[in-house]
């Protein structure tokens, strides 16, 4: 068992003087902002927890996010402009629109895969990397008082300050301040058939919608092969509900996760953040609040 030993000293002071905006009638201290890298379903559980706790955050995403559980992923705002999860709204913004989105009580989503926003006038107290690349991260462009990693690839004390366990077990959502999480098993949780993967590279077209019932063998999607007039079918492995599916028109690689069928067949669950995502979000909230120097800035 790893040590749950929080740091007692800050790895760095808050640089510069925070610039002020307004949010909900109160000043917005940009030095109290949290940067969340990734807007997928697990990252969105973190965003939901922090937002509901009154912590102001900015989400950064890819230009073409590949979330499967799109209904509960704030990264969908990249495509839709605005996307709401459990009553919380995220809005795609440019840098100059971040403060106005925060003032409106929304979560700003910025296309910024390299986190270049860290080099701007905004001062972030915390960076949470929830991209789930399952590989060691590259260095951040600036020193950050608290860098939290989510899942495999992060090692607290080596490439981040704290890491959150993402593998289902009694350790799910726990915060480690020393060492790494459990390694990636390489297998999906539960029945491995539930995860739909691209059988080949090509252009993806869905034939079912998230939340729809599927019968075993029913067509869910097709992939048009590159340079060939041939389509590969993706069918439901069993009876259930389509819990997630990537967007139409995306060019996929062989083996990419493109869908998720839930045998519990409950369509309402498709529009709720999962228990796993909320547990990880609770770990992120704990990690932030453990640090007194950061905690004192969040609600000034």
Q: How much is the average pLDDT of 114-133?
A: 95
Residues 115 and 202 in one domain: no
Residues 136 and 84 in one domain: yes
Q: Is residue 35 part of a domain?
A: yes
- pLDDT tens readout for residues 35-90: 999 999 999 999 999 999 999 999 999 999 999 999 999 999 999 999 999 999 99
Strand pairing category for 155-156 and 219-225? unpaired
Residues 143 and 280 in one domain: yes
Q: Is residue 270 part of a domain?
A: no
Residues 69 and 146 in one domain: yes
The model's confidence at residue 95, banded by pLDDT at 50, 70 and 90, is: very high
pLDDT over 70 (residue 20): no
Residues 103 and 209 in one domain: no
Q: Is residue 8 part of a domain?
A: no
The model's confidence at residue 300, banded by pLDDT at 50, 70 and 90, is: low
pLDDT of residue 175: 98
| Phi and psi, residue 200, nearest 5° | -165, 170
Domain CATH number, residue 213? 2.40.50.100
The model's confidence at residue 9, banded by pLDDT at 50, 70 and 90, is: very low
DSSP-H helix ranges across the chain: 41-52, 77-80, 98-103, 275-290, 292-298
Residues 204 and 172 in one domain: no
The model's confidence at residue 5, banded by pLDDT at 50, 70 and 90, is: very low
The top-scoring range by mean pLDDT among 13-17, 22-26, 128-132 is 128-132
Q: Is residue 5 part of a domain?
A: no
Q: Is residue 12 part of a domain?
A: no
Is residue 60 within 8 Å of 117, Cβ to Cβ? yes
Q: Is residue 131 part of a domain?
A: yes
- pLDDT tens readout for residues 216-237: 999 999 999 876 678 999 999 9
Residues 132 and 279 in one domain: yes
Structural domain including 256 reads 192-262
pLDDT over 70 (residue 17): no
Q: How many domains does the chain have?
A: 2
Domain CATH number, residue 89? 3.40.50
184 or 147, which is more confident: 147
Q: How much is the average pLDDT of 97-118?
A: 96
pLDDT over 90 (residue 28): no
Cβ burial 221-239 (10 Å sphere, 16+ → b, else e): bbbbeeeeeeeeebebbee
pLDDT over 90 (residue 33): yes
Q: How much is the average pLDDT of 176-194?
A: 87
Lowest-confidence region among 20-29, 91-100, 206-215: 20-29
Residues 197 and 62 in one domain: no
Q: Is residue 89 part of a domain?
A: yes
Residues 142 and 181 in one domain: yes
pLDDT over 50 (residue 6): no
Residues 48 and 132 in one domain: yes
**Please, which residues have CB within 8 angstroms of residue 297's CB and are 6 or more apart in sequence?**
14, 29, 31, 32, 125
Is residue 219 within 8 Å of 235, Cβ to Cβ? yes
The model's confidence at residue 11, banded by pLDDT at 50, 70 and 90, is: very low
pLDDT of residue 174: 97
- pLDDT tens readout for residues 49-64: 999 999 999 999 999 9
pLDDT over 50 (residue 26): no
Average pLDDT in the chain:
89
Query: What is the distance between the alpha carbons of residues 189 and 168, in angstroms, rounded to a whole number?
Result: 8
Query: What is the distance between the alpha carbons of residues 234 and 238, in angstroms, rounded to a whole number?
Result: 12
Is residue 203 within 8 Å of 249, Cβ to Cβ? yes
């Amino acid at each position: 068992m790893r040590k749950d030993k929080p740091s007692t000293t800050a790895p760095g002071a808050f640089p510069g003087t925070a610039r002020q905006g307004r949010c909900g009638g109160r000043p917005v201290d940009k030095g109290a902002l949290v940067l969340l890298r990734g807007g997928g379903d697990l990252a969105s559980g973190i965003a939901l927890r922090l937002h509901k706790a009154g912590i102001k955050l900015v989400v950064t995403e890819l230009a073409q996010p590949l979330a499967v559980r799109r209904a509960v992923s704030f990264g969908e705002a990249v495509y839709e402009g605005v996307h709401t999860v459990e009553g919380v709204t995220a809005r795609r913004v440019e840098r100059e629109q971040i403060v106005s989105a925060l003032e409106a009580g929304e979560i700003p989503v910025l296309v910024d895969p390299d986190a270049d926003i860290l080099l701007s006038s905004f001062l972030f107290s915390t960076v949470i990397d929830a991209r789930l690349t399952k590989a060691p991260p590259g260095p951040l462009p600036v020193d950050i008082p608290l860098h939290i990693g989510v899942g495999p690839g992060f090692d607290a004390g080596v490439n981040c300050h704290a890491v959150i366990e993402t593998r289902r077990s009694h350790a799910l959502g726990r915060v480690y301040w020393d060492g790494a999480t459990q390694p990636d098993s390489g297998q999906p949780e539960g029945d491995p058939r539930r995860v739909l993967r691209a059988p080949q590279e090509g252009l993806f077209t869905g034939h079912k919608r998230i939340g729809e019932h599927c019968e075993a063998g029913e067509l869910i999607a097709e992939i048009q092969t590159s340079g060939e007039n041939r389509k590969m079918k993706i069918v439901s492995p069993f009876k259930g509900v389509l819990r997630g599916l990537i967007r139409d028109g995306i060019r996929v690689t062989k083996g990419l996760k493109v869908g998720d069928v839930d045998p519990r067949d409950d369509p309402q669950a498709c529009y709720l953040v999962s228990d796993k995502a909320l547990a990880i979000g609770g770990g992120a909230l704990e990690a932030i609040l453990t640090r007194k120097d950061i905690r004192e800035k969040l609600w000034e």
